[in-house]
Every structure is written in C-alpha cells, then in structure tokens.
C-alpha cells in the first residue's frame, strides 16, 4: 500500500459523518437532517436518542426506520434503501437520502374548545346550547405514516401546525358524541370524567389513521347560558322539595319579613293582611275539629276514630322508565315543571292499562281551562 493510500484511508476515517439531532425546542415534532445535496458517506454514524425515531425517505418513498440507538450506515442496516437504490454489491460513498428525525415523546397540555355553541334537544327544556373546553395529550406512534400523510416535505414541523387539525377533529367528534349520548342537560357538567373517556375512545381511530396516538383527553368544563342554569337549579330544588311544605315555608318567611319591615302603614297593613290569611287557614283547620267535638255525644268509653282515607298513588313513565308512586299533588307539580306532559303515561290501582294524562278524568284539570257545554236551544 502506497503512502497516498495511507493518507486517503486516514482522511476517510477522520471525516466519517455523524448524523444526529439535538432538540432544543419544546414544540418540534419532525426535523429534517440537512446535508449538502443530501449526501451521506458510507459508514456514517447515525445516533438516535431516546424519544426520537429516524426515518429515511428516498425520492418520496418511505425507506428504513431506526429506533433509539447508534448505527453504522451500510447495506446491512439499510435493507429497504438498499433495495430501492439497487445496491446489490454494496454502494460507493456518498449516497443521497432524506433523513427525518421524529420526536416521539408526549406532547401535553394541548388546548381544545368548541368554537361555536352546540345545540341539544332536551326533553324538559327544549333546544339548549352548551360550550365545552379542555386539554389533551398526544404522541407520534407511527413515524413513517405521520411523515407521509401529514408532514410531507416540511423541514421543521411543529405541534402548532398539527394542533389546528386536531382541534377541529376533536370538536367535530365531541359534538357527535354528546348529541348521541342524550343525557339530561344538567348531567353533562356532572359527568365530565365518563364523557371524557367516551370521547377518547371515539376519537382514537381518527388519530391513529395519521400515525398519532391520543394518550389523554380531558373535558374541564361544560357551560351553558346563565338563564338556563338558573332554570335548572330552580327545577332541581322543586323536584326535591315537598311543594306544600315549600309554600308554607315561604308564607311564613313573607310574614316574618313583613313584620320586620319598618316601611310604615303599608308594611304593617301587609303584615296584618297576611296574618289574617294565616289565621283563617289555621282557624279552618281547627273549626272542623271543634265542631266535630261539639257534635259528638258524651261517651262513657273511648270510641275508635274512623280509618284515614287512602290517598290515591300514581305511577308515571319518564324517559322510558317507570317512576313513582306519587300523590295527586306531586304528579301535578311534575306536570307543572315539565317532567311529565299531557301525553305521559300514568297508572293507578284499578286501571287496566297505562293511560295518557289527558285521558284520565281526574287529571284533566292539569291541562287548564275546560270547554263549556253547548247552550240549550230556545
């Protein structure tokens, strides 16, 4: 071997290429390794760090993919590129190929939200609008597919470039999911964990189709107009409280407020008027008892009182489920707050079948005014 061969060998060993990418950003997903005319020397060292994948592209075709590790580039560890290039007996240095480094770590705390309100049809409140927002996390799980389908020839692809696409996808699938869930409107805000898990399952195939894995999906808030929220709160209170007790409680509070009012004669008059009303109500409750006591002859031995009247109990259908039993007044309250309507089915003891409220004689009073009979002929 001559002196020039020794010098050539020494120089070739000293100038072996090192192909690597040191990521100093927090948002880069794909980085193309830039070389002069994309030339890479035979025996070059490829260094792929943890959280990275190196993808070789030859003339727009996906070639070899390298997981974390250090590699000496030759025909043995470039089987696909070797086939594409037609290197049957090895290759001469240098060769041309594009190398993309893909960041495979988890991208967290990505924001999403509904740009426009979602319109839902609730059985009790009619058409309502809600908004939602939250966060999600993703990572690239198929680098080759991601580069071919999404990145293309972009030399520096960031999370910002994919986020708009992902947020649109999430908003569309979220709208479909909540529309098909058909929950009562107040349950969307109360079941965000279950709804988040369902949405993640629905969206995962869409992410996988472009080489991305949806790792986490969170709904942080479901909001609705303030007037609807107040109506729901009021409905919830009425549904839980006994209406008769609530009325008496509010009457007592009104009397207390009127008595404490120092606004003059008007306030005193109102307090006295409400006091008279309450006295009459209480007197009405006491007078029948006094009259009954006076009408009864003196008995030398105690007499058992007659049995208490049995209150009619009704079962009703709501959202396809049987509910009850409830009293006449409770059923009337349910009708008033739109839990049931004139077409809702009810049943009580003695009825052969379930019947709509509008067809039950004693319940027709729920429907409002009645039609008078025709005038007698002259």
pLDDT one-digit tens code per residue, 56-88:
988 788 888 999 999 988 877 787 887 777 666
Cα–Cα dist 127/119, whole Å? 7
Would you say 133 and 111 are in contact if contact means Cβ atoms under 8 Å apart? yes
- Strands of the chain (E only): list them: 18-19, 28-33, 39-40, 45-48, 52-58, 61-66, 69-72, 95-96, 98-103, 107-113, 118-122, 126-140, 156-158, 212-223, 314-318, 321-326, 345-347, 355-356
The closest alpha carbon to 66, from 41, 100, 16, 29, belongs to: 100
Is the pTM here over 0.85, yes or no?
no
The closest alpha carbon to 64, from 54, 74, 76, belongs to: 54
Say yes or no to pLDDT of 100 above 70: yes
> Residue 69's Cα: distance from chain center in Å?
41
% pLDDT > 70, the chain: 72
Q: Which residues contact 317 (CB under 8 A, 6 or more apart)?
A: 323, 344, 345, 346, 354
Cα–Cα dist 258/268, whole Å? 7
- The Cβ-side half-sphere exposure at 4, using a 13 Å CA radius, reads 0
Say yes or no to pLDDT of 104 above 60: yes
3-state helix, strand, coil in the chain (%, to 5): 40, 25, 30
Q: What is the DSSP string of 130-180?
A: EEEEEEEEEEES-HHHHIIIIITT-SEEEHHHHHHHHHHHHHHHHHHHHHH
pLDDT value at position 211? Answer: 93
pLDDT top residue among 1 and 59 = 59
pLDDT value at position 102? Answer: 95
Cα–Cα dist 95/58, whole Å? 11
Give whole-number Cα distances, 374 to 246, 361, 371, 377, 378, in Å.
41, 20, 9, 9, 12
pLDDT value at position 272? Answer: 44
pLDDT top residue among 219 and 285 = 219
Say yes or no to pLDDT of 369 above 70: no
- The Cβ-side half-sphere exposure at 197, using a 13 Å CA radius, reads 3
> Residue 143's Cα: distance from chain center in Å?
30
Cα–Cα dist 199/46, whole Å? 40
157-199 pLDDT, tens digit each: 999 889 888 998 898 888 888 877 777 777 777 778 888 898 9
List, in order of start, the domains of the chain with CATH numbers: 3-103 (no CATH), 107-225 (3.30.479.30), 241-262+312-368 (3.30.1490.40)
Q: Read off the pLDDT band of 360 (50, 70, 90).
A: confident
Long-range contacts of 84-88 (CB under 8 A, 24+ apart): 84/58, 84/59, 85/58
């Amino acid at each position: 071997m001559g002196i020039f061969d020794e010098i050539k060998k020494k120089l070739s060993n000293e100038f072996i290429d090192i192909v690597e990418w040191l990521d100093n950003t927090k948002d880069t997903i794909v980085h193309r390794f830039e070389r002069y005319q994309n030339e890479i020397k035979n025996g070059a060292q490829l260094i792929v760090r943890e959280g990275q994948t190196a993808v070789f592209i030859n003339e727009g075709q996906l070639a070899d993919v390298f997981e974390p590790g250090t590699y000496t580039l030759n025909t043995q560890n470039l089987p696909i590129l070797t086939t594409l290039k037609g290197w049957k007996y090895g290759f001469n240095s240098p060769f041309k190929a594009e190398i993309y480094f893909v960041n495979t770590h988890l991208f967290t705390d990505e924001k999403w939200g509904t740009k426009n309100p979602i319109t839902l049809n609730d059985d009790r409140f009619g058409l309502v609008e809600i908004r939602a927002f939250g966060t999600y996390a993703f990572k690239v799980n198929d680098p080759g597919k991601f580069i071919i389908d999404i990145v293309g020839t972009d030399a520096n692809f960031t999370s910002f470039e994919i986020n708009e696409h992902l947020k649109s996808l999430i908003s569309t699938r979220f709208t479909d999911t909540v529309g098909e869930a058909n929950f009562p409107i107040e349950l969307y805000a109360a079941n965000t964990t279950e709804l988040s898990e369902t949405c993640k399952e629905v969206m995962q195939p869409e992410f996988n189709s472009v080489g991305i894995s949806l790792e986490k999906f969170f709904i942080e808030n479901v909001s609705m107009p303030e007037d609807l929220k107040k109506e729901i709160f009021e409905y919830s209170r009425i549904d839980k409280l006994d209406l008769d007790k609530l009325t008496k409680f509010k009457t007592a509070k009104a009397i207390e407020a009127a008595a404490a009012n120092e606004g003059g004669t008007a306030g005193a008059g109102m307090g006295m008027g409400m006091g008279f009303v309450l006295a009459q109500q209480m007197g009405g409750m006491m007078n029948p008892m006094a009259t009954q006591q006076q009408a009864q002859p003196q008995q030398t031995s105690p007499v058992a009182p007659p049995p208490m009247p049995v209150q009619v109990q009704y079962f009703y259908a709501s959202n396809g489920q049987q509910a009850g039993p409830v009293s006449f007044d409770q059923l009337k309250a349910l009708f008033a707050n739109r839990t049931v309507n004139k077409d809702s089915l009810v049943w009580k003891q003695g009825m052969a079948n379930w019947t709509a409220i509008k067809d039950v004689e004693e319940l027709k009073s729920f429907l409002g005014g009645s039609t008078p009979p025709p005038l007698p002929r002259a």
